[in-house]
Amino acid sequence: MDRFDERILRELKLDGRLSNVLLAERIGLSPSATLRRVQELEKSDVIAGYRAVLNPAQCGIEFIAYVSIGLSNHSKASQLHFEEAISVAKEVVECHNITGSSEYLLRVETKNLAAYKQFHMDVIGNIPQVNAVATSVVMDSPKDERA
Amino acid sequence: MDRFDERILRELKLDGRLSNVLLAERIGLSPSATLRRVQELEKSDVIAGYRAVLNPAQCGIEFIAYVSIGLSNHSKASQLHFEEAISVAKEVVECHNITGSSEYLLRVETKNLAAYKQFHMDVIGNIPQVNAVATSVVMDSPKDERA
DNA sequence: GGTGAAACGTAGGCCGT
DNA sequence: ACGGCCTACGTTTCACC
């Protein structure tokens, strides 16, 4: 992992479809050397994958919220049950197990407020271990470099 | 926006580097028709871009936290000043303006706890408008579909 | 790490429906 | 207006230096 690898990662983070020849030009190496480095970064799992980034507004997503969840008890069984219920909920895009006053932080994306209410009732309301719920609606994201 | 477009987006979200011919096979269209649809989705900003997804653990990131920030006053000037300070902080990967008991939610990624302490002092501690800070350390992310 | 050549994919014109 | 076919062009990828 040297300067070249770092530049490769920087360019590929900005444009995952950058062609190998253009990438080679930008980092100042030949295409073949560049390709070998990229393949090595992929094989060693430094690059986990490539994804198209969609524009939520253009995809019918008009409601985004972070939801902190507190469980009524902290047993392993409770946590696994909760995570299982969350894993099948398509509205939940992220689920983080965090320290602090609540156990989980979710990012939830829905079509609109009505769809969120539905999610709140049908999914959150149906997990018996859930004790406390606090919804923070996202109004704007002045910085968002989610890879 | 029909079934074909939806399938294109689903495949490209999973693999942003999928070649056009393979994509065409998977959705059951010819390569040229597929390419035209993809280009249209890019032009109309449904596809915002493509990114390489890095593995934080393999990139020397061993500390991830969500930080909620409350400002001492809610003037436009205060918010703009805060957002400006955040935009140049490389440790801040996301900054969301939210409703609820605090104004901002940040996702902060650093090499380790010591680097986070440094960030906390040098960046957060130097923004006079910051009133309240609550750090929630990410222990695990059982679901993470960040694009 | 660089070079060259073959295999492969892209992208645009053209025609049929 | 939209999908399929064909072809020139560029890119990827590999054995070899």
Return per-residue pLDDT of chain B as tens, 147 residues. Answer: 889 999 999 999 999 999 999 999 999 999 999 999 999 999 999 999 999 999 999 999 999 999 999 999 999 999 999 999 999 999 999 999 999 999 999 999 999 999 999 999 999 999 999 999 999 999 999 999 876
**Residue B35 amino acid letter:** L
Instruction: Read off the tokens for B6.
Output: 């939806």
Q: Is the minimum distance from the CB of B133 to strand C below 7 Å?
A: no
The reported pLDDT for the residue numbered A147 is: 60
The predicted-structure confidence for A93-131, as pLDDT tens digits, reads as follows 999 999 999 999 999 999 999 999 999 999 999 999 999
Mean pLDDT (chain A) is 94
What DSSP state is assigned to residue B51? E
Q: Is the dihedral of CA A126, A97, A80, B58 positive or negative?
A: positive
Instruction: Kindly report the pTM of this predicted structure.
Output: 0.89
Identify how many contiguous H helices and E strands chain A contains and give both numbers.
5, 5
Query: Closest to A146 (Cβ–Cβ): which among B55, B136, B146?
Result: B146
Domains annotated on chain B, with CATH = 3-43 (1.10.10.10), 57-137 (3.30.70.920)
Q: Which residue's CA shows the smallest distance to C1' of C4?
A: A32
Instruction: Read off the tokens for B140.
Output: 């695990």
Cα–Cα distance measured from residue A23 to residue A42, given in angstroms and rounded to the nearest whole number: 15
The reported pLDDT for the residue numbered B145 is: 87
